[in-house]
Amino acid sequence: MSSPPRLGAIRACFEGVIPVGIATVAADGWPNVTYLSQVHYLDEDHVALSYQFFNKTRANLLTHPVAELQLIDPTTGRSWRLTIRYLRTETAGPLFETMKAKLAGIASHSGMAGVFRLLGADVCRVERLIALPGEGLTPRVPPAALLPALRGSVARLAAAGPLDAALDGLMQDLEQRFRVRHAALLLPTADGQRLYTLASLGYPDSGVGSEIAMGQGVIGVAAREGTPIRIGHMTVDQAYARALKDQAGTGALENEIPFPGLASPGSQLAVPVVDAQGLLGVLFVEDPGELRFGYDEEDALVVLADALATRLRRGEAAPVRPRRRAPATPARASGPPLEVRHYAANDSLFLGEDYLIKGVAGAILWTLLRARQDRGREEFTNRELRLDPALRLPAHAENLEARLILLQRRLAEKASGLAIEKTGRGRFRLAVRRPVRLLEM
Amino acid sequence: MQLSADALSFVQSGVSILVAAADGEGRPAIARAVGCRAVERSGRLLVVLRADEGAELLAALAAGSRIAVMFSRPQTNRSLQVKGDQVQVAPLGPRDRDLPRRYLAAMDAELRPLGHGGRFLEAVLAVEESALLAVSFQPCLSFDQTPGPRAGHSLAAQP
C-alpha cells in the first residue's frame, strides 16, 4: 500500500507549463469546464487560483464553492486530480503580488500579455488529491541536490569572519553549489526608499552601488511585500521587464550606476532577506533560460536568505582589544591632485567629474577624508563611525559594515587612488595615493 | 443546436479535451477525453473516455448529469466549450477503436513544437493502459472559451 500523494511533491504542476483544467457547477446544475491561467501552491492544504475576469468559473465558485482540478506534472506526464473548496479572495499583499508577478510571465509566455491582469487570488482549501492511473516518465532532469548545497552555504554564512568575505563566499556558493549564473545582493538605503547593490555574480560590470526603487521590478516588489517573487518566463510586462538600463542618462543620481541585470532574463527570483526586525535586503538570482527556478529553488533560497539575515544582523562585533601593530607607513601621495566634491544635500561624492557614491557611504568617505585633512588621521575604527552623529546611520547600525564594503568596492572599481583597507576586526585604513582637494559644494 | 462546420472541424482536430459533469449533490467531476468525433446526421458529439480515470464522471453521467466539454488548441489557446444533454455511455464501437490512436497522432503533431509530444504525450494520455468508453451527447450550448475578457461568451447557434 503506497502512502497518500503529497501536494508538495507535485508542485511542478503549478509552474504554468501545462494549463490546469477546472470543473465547477452552476446554481442551475450545469457543469462548466475550462482552463485556469495559474494555480499557486500555498501549502499542503491550500492553493490559490488566479482571478482575472469575472467568468463562469468564478460565478460558480462563489455560489457553489467546490471545484475539481485536473493537473499534469510537466516533468513526468502523470495526471492528478485535486478537489478544492473556495475560501476567500485576496486583492493585495504578498500572495497577490507573488501571483501577479508569476502571471505576468505566464501571460507573456502564452501570448496573453496585456490580456491577463490579476484581480485577485482565490484561496482554496484542498479537500482531496488523487493520482490518476498511468505510469508516467522518469524525469529527464534529476532534481538538483539543493539540500547539500543549502547545508554547505548556511554553514559558511554562520562561520566567523568579516562580512565582505562572507558575501564573497555567498556569491561563490550560489555559483558553485546552486549552479546559479547571475545573482545580486541588495540592501536598503538609509531612508528605506531604495535598495543598493552590495555584491553581484556573473555580470560584466559588478553594478555595486547601483540602486533600485522600492516596489520596482521583481526585486523592488519582493522588498516592498516581503515575499519571494519568481517569474519563470521572459516577461514583456513593463512592471517586471528590465527597463532599468533605459533610465540611465535621465540625470537622476540613482541611475548613475546601471543595475547589472540581464537584458532579457528567462527566469528571475527575488527573495527578501528579513528577520523579526524587518527588511535587511534582497537576494536576487536570474538566468537566460526559462523555468530555471521552481518551488524547490525558491524554498532553498528562502532558507539561505534566513541564514544571511542572521549574518547581516550579527555585523562585526567591535574588537575587544585592539591589536598591537606597527602603524603603517602612510602611502606617499603623488601625482596630479584629485578633486573630491561633496554635495551635502544627499551626501553624494564625485571624484573629478565621476560620480562615486551617495548616502551613508558618501558621508562616511567625506568624514574620513576630512579627518585625514584636518587631523592627519588615516586609521579608523568602525566603532567611532557608529558614534558619529554626522553620518546619519540608520537605526540598525550593523549596516555600517555593509556601507564600508560598498565604499571599498566602489573605490576599488574606480581605481582613483583612494582605498579602504581592512587592518583588523572593526578597524581599517583610508589609503590615499594621490593628493586630494576637498570641495564642499 | 448545430455546431458550425468550423467548430466541428476544430473539435475533431488535435485539441486538448476536458469533460465535466455534476453529481446529484452538485459536486463537479472532471476527466480528460482522448478523442472526439461528430456523429453523422444526429448532430451529436462522441468523446472517448478512459473508464478507470473517469469513474466519478461516468457515475454522475449515469445518474443523469448534463455534460460540459472543453476543446483547446495548445498552440493558439483557442478554446471552445460545448454543453449538452441526452448523454449516452457505451463501450467503444468497432468503428471508433482507432479514434484514440488517431487523436494521439494529431495531438503529437500539435504538441511536438511545444516540446510536449512523443513519449510525454503518451504518458499523459495513457490510452494503451485502460478500457475505453464512448460518451455521446446532444450539444445545446457553445461558448468561446479562448482566454481573455470575452471567454465564456455564448456563440450564436448556427443554422
Provide the ipTM.
Answer: 0.94
Q: Is the pLDDT of residue B69 over 70?
A: yes
Of B60, B119, B114, B118, the residue nearest A19 (C-alpha): B114
Asked if B19's CB is within 8 angstroms of A115's CB, the reply is no
CB A261 within 8 A of CB A218: no
Q: Is the pLDDT of residue A391 over 90?
A: no
The larger pLDDT score, comparing residue A116 to residue A198, is at: A198
* Cβ neighbours of residue B14 closer than 8 Å, sequence gap 6 or more: B73, B103, B106, B107, B108, B109, B110, B111
Q: How confident is the model at residue A4 (pLDDT cuts 50, 70, 90)?
A: confident
Give the side-chain half-sphere CA count within 13 A for A223.
26
With a pLDDT cut of 90, the percent of chain A lying above it is 60
pLDDT in tens, A339-366: 999 999 999 999 999 999 999 899 999 9
Give the side-chain half-sphere CA count within 13 A for B74.
23
pLDDT in tens, A304-325: 999 999 999 887 554 444 455 5
The reply to whether A67 touches chain B by the CB within 8 Å rule is yes
- Among B30, B81, B83, the residue with its CB nearest the CB of A68 is B30
Q: What is the pLDDT of residue A37?
A: 80
Asked if B124's CB is within 8 angstroms of A133's CB, the reply is no
Q: What is the pLDDT of residue A378?
A: 93
pLDDT in tens, A396-409: 555 888 999 999 99
Q: What are the DSSP calls for B40-69, one per residue?
A: TTT--EEEEEETTT-HHHHHHHHTT--EEE
CB A430 within 8 A of CB A423: no
CB A281 within 8 A of CB A312: yes
Pairwise CA distance, residues B46 & B43, whole Å: 10
pLDDT in tens, A25-67: 999 999 999 998 889 999 999 999 999 887 899 999 999 999 9
Q: What is the pLDDT of residue A327?
A: 52
A119: cell is: 484581480
B119: cell is: 513519449
State the DSSP code for A111: T
Average pLDDT over residues B43-49: 96
The reply to whether A267 touches chain B by the CB within 8 Å rule is no
How far does CA B3 lie from the centroid of its chain?
Answer: 14
Q: Helical H runs in chain B?
A: 5-11, 55-62, 99-111, 118-125
Q: Is the pLDDT of residue A420 over 90?
A: yes
Pairwise CA distance, residues A391 & A297, whole Å: 39
Q: Give the dihedral sign, CA A353/A355/A359/A363.
A: negative
With a pLDDT cut of 70, the percent of chain A lying above it is 87
The reply to whether A28 touches chain B by the CB within 8 Å rule is no
Pairwise CA distance, residues A397 & B150, whole Å: 55
CB B82 within 8 A of CB B144: no
A368: cell is: 574620513
Cβ burial of A354 (10 Å; 0-12, 13-18, 19+) is: exposed
pLDDT in tens, B98-143: 999 999 999 999 999 888 888 889 888 887 767 899 999 999 999 9
B149: cell is: 475578457
Q: Nearest CA of chain B to the CA of A93: how many Å?
A: 24
- Among A25, A56, A72, the residue with its CB nearest the CB of B152 is A56
A391: cell is: 553620518
Q: Which residues of A touch B66 (CB under 8 A)?
A: 29-31
Strands A278-287 and A182-188: antiparallel
The larger pLDDT score, comparing residue A279 to residue B156, is at: A279
Q: How confident is the model at residue A112 (pLDDT cuts 50, 70, 90)?
A: low
Q: Which residues of B touch A134 (CB under 8 A)?
A: 123-124, 126, 129
Q: Which residues of B touch A133 (CB under 8 A)?
A: 50, 52-53, 126, 129-130
Give the side-chain half-sphere CA count within 13 A for A344.
5
Q: Is the pLDDT of residue A246 over 60?
A: no
Q: Which residues of B touch A25 (CB under 8 A)?
A: 22, 26-28
Q: What is the pLDDT of residue B158?
A: 37
How far does CA A141 lie from the centroid of its chain?
Answer: 26
Q: Is the pLDDT of residue A217 over 90?
A: no
Asked if B28's CB is within 8 angstroms of A66's CB, the reply is yes
**pTM for the predicted model, two decimal places:** 0.85
Asked if B151's CB is within 8 angstroms of A55's CB, the reply is yes
Q: How many CB atoms within 10 Å of residue B93?
A: 10
The reply to whether A22 touches chain B by the CB within 8 Å rule is yes
Please list the residues that pair with B135 across neighbouring strands. Answer: B47, B89
State the DSSP code for A372: H
Q: Is the pLDDT of residue B81 over 80?
A: yes
Q: Give the dihedral sign, CA A187/A189/A195/A200.
A: negative
Q: Average per-residue pLDDT in chain A?
A: 87
Pairwise CA distance, residues B96 & B48, whole Å: 9
- Among A23, A30, A37, the residue with its CB nearest the CB of B83 is A30
Residue type for A288, please?
P
Q: Is the pLDDT of residue A245 over 50?
A: no
pLDDT in tens, A115-146: 778 899 999 999 999 999 888 888 766 666 89
Q: Nearest CA of chain B to the CA of A296: how many Å?
A: 22
Cα torsion for A353, A358, A360, A362, to the nearest 10°? 0
Of A320, A318, A323, the residue nearest A398 (C-alpha): A318
Q: Which residue of B has its CA nearest to A34?
A: B70
Q: Which residues of B touch A35 (CB under 8 A)?
A: 18, 70, 72, 79, 145, 147
Q: Give the dihedral sign, CA A260/A264/A267/A271.
A: positive
Cα–Cα distances in angstroms (integers) from residue B53 to residues A34, A75, A197, in the given order:
18, 20, 52
Pairwise CA distance, residues A84 & A106, whole Å: 23
Of A237, A231, A303, the residue nearest A273 (C-alpha): A303
Test the A interface: residue of B80, B104, B124 with most A CBs within 10 Å: B124
Strands laid side by side in the A427-432 sheet: A379-381, A427-432, A418-424
Q: Helical H runs in A295-377?
A: 295-314, 359-375
With a pLDDT cut of 90, the percent of chain B lying above it is 68
Residues in chain B: 159
* Cβ neighbours of residue B6 closer than 8 Å, sequence gap 6 or more: none
- Helix (H/G/I), strand (E/B), else coil: B89: strand
Average pLDDT over residues B152-158: 62
Q: How confident is the model at residue A301 (pLDDT cuts 50, 70, 90)?
A: very high
* Cβ neighbours of residue A276 closer than 8 Å, sequence gap 6 or more: none
Q: Nearest CA of chain B to the CA of A243: how many Å?
A: 26
A244: cell is: 532599468
CB B61 within 8 A of CB B21: yes
The larger pLDDT score, comparing residue A124 to residue B2, is at: A124
Q: Is the pLDDT of residue A331 over 60?
A: no
Please list the residues that pair with A39 across neighbouring strands. Answer: A49
* Cβ neighbours of residue B58 closer than 8 Å, sequence gap 6 or more: B49, B51, B89, B133, B135
Q: Nearest CA of chain A to the CA of B150: how many Å?
A: 9
The reply to whether A385 touches chain B by the CB within 8 Å rule is no
Pairwise CA distance, residues A57 & A4, whole Å: 29
Q: What is the pLDDT of residue A53?
A: 82
How far does CA B126 lie from the centroid of its chain?
Answer: 16
- Residue contacts between A and B (CB atoms, under 8 Å): 126
Return the H-helix or E-strand segment holding A153: helix A146-158
Asked if A68's CB is within 8 angstroms of B18's CB, the reply is no
- B interface with A, Cβ–Cβ below 8 Å: 18-22, 26-32, 50, 52-53, 65-70, 72, 77, 79, 81, 83, 116, 119-124, 126, 129-130, 143, 145, 147-149, 151-152
Q: Is the pLDDT of residue A5 over 90?
A: no
Q: What is the pLDDT of residue B157?
A: 46
